[in-house]
């Protein structure tokens, strides 16, 4: 158990809809990272938050946004969903820049 | 910019045989390197990490990796494969140039272990 909790485990929705993925980091970790895993793109970094502030941005679409709340949990919002957004979305956390990332079990999003 | 390349998207070995999963990195600064394992329907689990201490790094489940600067490699090995080692393995480099701690992953190698 990595200590990182992601909900829900599975999400099935239709094109054009909006969903919210939730992540609770390990106790004490200030950084939260979001990754998207798909067969064709592999593991792609989306965005990072550190103690409530956006720290780094990767290949995140404009339709996607995230935030980190004062209690350090994070949410990834995906809107105007397309079939190609179907993927496994991982959240990871760490306590500082040189520490390894600890991953949650992911949310599998299926867009129909 | 940092990047990693995993040679071989699929590796098959017999139970008890040597496991060798290849990873080469590209980095403009001394890298921090990691190997993660992903079992079906699970998240990524850290196997081991290199952060500029000893070049031979020992991890969990009998895995180890050797950092070779001259070859820009960080190959993962295990002397004797077990059926439970069947999984997908990812090599990753830390993006130290941005000092954010984010990891850049290779495309992954699926390890199959045959009885």
Q: Answer whether residue B95 shows pLDDT above 80.
A: no
3-class DSSP assignment, residue B26:
strand
Between the alpha carbon of residue B20 and those of residues A56, A63, B10, B14, B110, the distances in Å are 33, 40, 11, 12, 12
pLDDT of residue A97: 64
Q: Answer whether residue A24 shows pLDDT above 90.
A: yes
pLDDT of residue B99: 73
Residues constituting chain B: 115
pLDDT tens digits, residue range B27-40? 878 889 999 999 98
Q: Which residues of A touch B32 (CB under 8 A)?
A: 98
The nearest CA of chain B is from the CA of A30 a distance in Å of 12
Nearest to A100 among B49, B105, B108 (CB): B49
3-class DSSP assignment, residue A17:
coil
Q: In what order do the strands lie in the sheet with B3-7?
A: B3-7, B19-26, B73-78, B64-68, B56-58
| CB-defined contacts A:B, below 8 A | 59
Residue % of chain A over a pLDDT of 70: 98
Cα separation of B29 and A93, whole Å?
Answer: 23
Q: Which residues of A touch B102 (CB under 8 A)?
A: 33, 45, 48, 56, 58
More confident residue, B59 or B41: B59
Nearest to A56 among B36, B44, B98 (CB): B98
Summary mean pLDDT of chain A: 94
- A34: CB partners within 8 A, 6+ apart: A23, A45, A46, A47, A48, A60, A66, A74, A76, A89, A90, A91, A92
Which A residues 31-50 touch B at CB under 8 Å? 31, 33, 42-43, 45, 48, 50
Nearest to A100 among B41, B46, B108 (CB): B46
Q: Answer whether residue A59 shows pLDDT above 90.
A: no
Q: Answer whether residue B97 shows pLDDT above 80.
A: no
Q: Answer whether residue A43 shows pLDDT above 80.
A: yes
pLDDT tens digits, residue range A76-104? 999 999 999 999 999 999 987 668 899 99
For the record, the structure tokens of B75 come out as 């190959």
More confident residue, B53 or B75: B75
Nearest to B101 by CA among B57, B37, B64, B51: B51
Nearest to B100 among A2, A48, A103 (CB): A48
**B2-31 mean pLDDT:** 93
**B40-50 mean pLDDT:** 92
User: Per the CB < 8 Å rule, is A2 touching B43?
Assistant: yes
Does residue B30 come out as left (phi exceeding 0), alpha (psi in the -120 to 50 range) or beta?
Answer: beta
Q: Is A74 on the interface with B (CB under 8 A)?
A: no
pLDDT of residue B39: 93
Strand partners, B14: B114
Are A67 and A58 in contact by the 8 Å Cβ rule? The answer is: no
The nearest CA of chain A is from the CA of B55 a distance in Å of 17
**A16-33 mean pLDDT:** 96
How far the first Cα of chain A sits from its last, in Å, is: 31
For the record, the structure tokens of A108 come out as 């599998």
Q: Answer whether residue B48 shows pLDDT above 70.
A: yes
**B18-24 mean pLDDT:** 98
Cα separation of B101 and B99, whole Å?
Answer: 6
Cα separation of A37 and A104, whole Å?
Answer: 13
């Amino acid at each position: 158990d990595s200590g990182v909790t992601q909900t829900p485990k599975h999400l099935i929705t239709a094109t054009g809809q909006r969903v919210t993925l939730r992540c609770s980091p390990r106790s004490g970790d200030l950084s939260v990272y979001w990754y998207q895993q798909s067969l064709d793109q592999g593991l792609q970094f989306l965005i990072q938050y550190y103690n409530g502030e956006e720290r780094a941005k990767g290949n995140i679409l404009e339709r996607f946004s995230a935030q980190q709340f004062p209690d350090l949990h994070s949410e990834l919002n995906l809107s105007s969903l397309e079939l190609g957004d179907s993927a496994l979305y991982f959240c990871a956390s760490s306590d500082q820049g040189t520490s390894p990332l600890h991953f949650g079990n992911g949310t599998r999003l299926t867009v129909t | 910019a940092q990047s990693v390349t995993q040679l071989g998207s699929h590796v098959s070995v017999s139970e008890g045989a040597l496991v060798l999963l290849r990873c080469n990195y590209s980095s403009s600064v001394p890298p921090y390197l990691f190997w993660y394992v992903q079992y079906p329907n699970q998240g990524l689990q850290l196997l081991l990490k290199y952060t500029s201490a000893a070049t031979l790094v020992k991890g969990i489940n009998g895995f180890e990796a050797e950092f070779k600067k001259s070859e820009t490699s960080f190959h993962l090995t295990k002397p004797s494969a077990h059926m439970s080692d069947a999984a997908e393995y990812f090599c990753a480099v830390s993006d130290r140039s941005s000092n954010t701690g984010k990891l850049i992953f290779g495309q992954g190698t699926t390890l199959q272990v045959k009885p």
